[in-house]
Structure 1
Amino acid sequence: MAFDFQIIQKEKYRLIIPLVHELNDGKVSKDDLKVRFEEMSNQNYECAGIFDDDTLIGVAGLWFCTRHYVGKSVELDHVFIKPEYRGSGLGKSFMGWIQNYTQSKGCKSLELNTYVQNYPSHKFYYNEGYEILGYHFLKKIDN
């Protein structure tokens, strides 16, 4: 089975919404995701996708920035592959493709956050050479 890795064009970000909705167990509405991805498209954001023929089966958001401690960097966000495609090495191939792509854009590091309780992802990222640098804190400041 051949998969195609590619950057999803902004005009097609609607394709991302069902996968990110599934990733978040439906906790964020599809309408909210639509609005947020529209906002994100005007920031330093891109989205990589895995296609099985014409079907999007995996995504990884890419936030580009420059960090004082490492230089030009990319932070991976909402990394998700549909469950039925996991366990076959596809994630490893996708991460390799992302590394090559972001390196070609001058990035010196890859960073990401993963949920504390998502133990399978921790093992995966350790095996991919990621190290824990710190903790991610969140404080909501709704008006």
Structure 2
Amino acid sequence: MTKNEILIRSIPSSEIFRIIPLLQKLGNHSISETLLKERLQEMVQQNYECLGVFDAENLIGVCGLWFQTRHYAGKSVEMDHVIIDDAYRSHGLGKMLTEYVSEYAKQKSCAWVELNTYVHNFPSHKFYYNQGFVAKGYHFVKEL
């Protein structure tokens, strides 16, 4: 694999189920494939886009993008479920993807890019700090 063979492009909503095998690697094993499909179908009806990282036609990475306008940031994009297949990690693809997202967001007049990462995922924290991200707060959740 060379970086010249890698392509980042939008995944059309008609092909969104292609991302399921990578989503399943994120550790959400309790979510069935049927439920993932239902949620993805709903997501593509909202302000959601999905980028794929391809080695030829092989999908090796994904990054969901949620576009919104926030009172504190203006127009922004939130990166969601970012994953690069294990076999392709440590080759600069994550950096390539975050740079792509930043440029794409600028083209869409976004003021900033934001994301969440699990508090115990220290390697991701280091990676995102190295890409110019800063921690602005905590993301709290409450299951209902």
Amino acid at match of 2:117: T
Find the aligned partners of 1:120 and 1:25 in 2 and give their Cα distance: 19
Match of 2:10 among 7, 11, 15: 7
CA contact (8 A) 1:21 1:29 kept: no
Aligned Cα RMSD in Å?
0.9
Unpaired segments ≥5 residues, structure 2: none
Residues 43-91 of structure 1, C-alpha deviations (whole Å, 9 max, x = no match): 0000011001111110010000001111100001000000111111111
Residue 18 of structure 1 corresponds to which residue in structure 2? 21
Q: Is 1:96 aligned to 2:99, yes or no?
A: yes
Amino acid at match of 1:10: S
| TM-score when normalising by structure 2 | 0.95
Unpaired segments ≥5 residues, structure 1: none
Amino acid at match of 2:88: Y
Identity %: 50
Match of 1:51 among 45, 54, 74: 54
Q: State the aligned residue count.
A: 141
Amino acid at match of 2:63: A
| TM-score when normalising by structure 1 | 0.96
Amino acid at match of 2:66: W
**What secondary structure is seen at the aligned counterpart in 2 of 1:38?**
helix
Instruction: Give the drift of 1:140.
Output: 1.2
Find the aligned partners of 2:31 and 2:81 in 1 and give their Cα distance: 13
Q: Structure 1 segments of 4 or more deviating over 4 A?
A: none
CA contact (8 A) 1:77 1:112 kept: yes
